[in-house]
Structure 1
Amino acid sequence: MELQTQIRKYRKTLNLSQEELAEKIYVTRQTISNWKMEKAIRIFTVLFFLVLYSASL
């Protein structure tokens, strides 16, 4: 599954906008957008999912 698909899936599961998700994980909305466009370094993928799962617990 592509990164952009994973982000959208989990964002929709948590019923969050890009901006709301960005606030929860302490990044900018533009960072979320870059992740969706796969412009960011892959290490941020790991960070994203670690924070997302901890935020949903």
Structure 2
Amino acid sequence: MDYNKTGQLIARRRKAVGLTQKELAGYLGVTNKAVSKWETGVSHTKRY
């Protein structure tokens, strides 16, 4: 999975419907920091 592309998609869709990260987070029941991490592609956990 390409986390950067996924994050870009989330950000584009969020902006297209006029939501802030905080508003989207509220709808999903997560923090705005989680949404930020998703959008920047750093939310995944590396497993070795």
- State the TM-score, normalized to the length of structure 2: 0.70
By relative contact order (CA 8 Å, sep 6+), the higher-ranking structure is: 2
Aligned residues: 42
Tell me which moved more, 3-12 or 14-23: 3-12
Indicate the structure with greater helix content. 1
**5+ residue gaps in structure 1?**
43-57
User: Identity of paired residues, percent?
Assistant: 29
Please give the alpha-carbon distance, in whole angstroms, between the structure 1 residues aligned to 2:17 and 2:29.
16
Which structure has the larger Rg? 2
Cα-Cα RMSD: 1.9
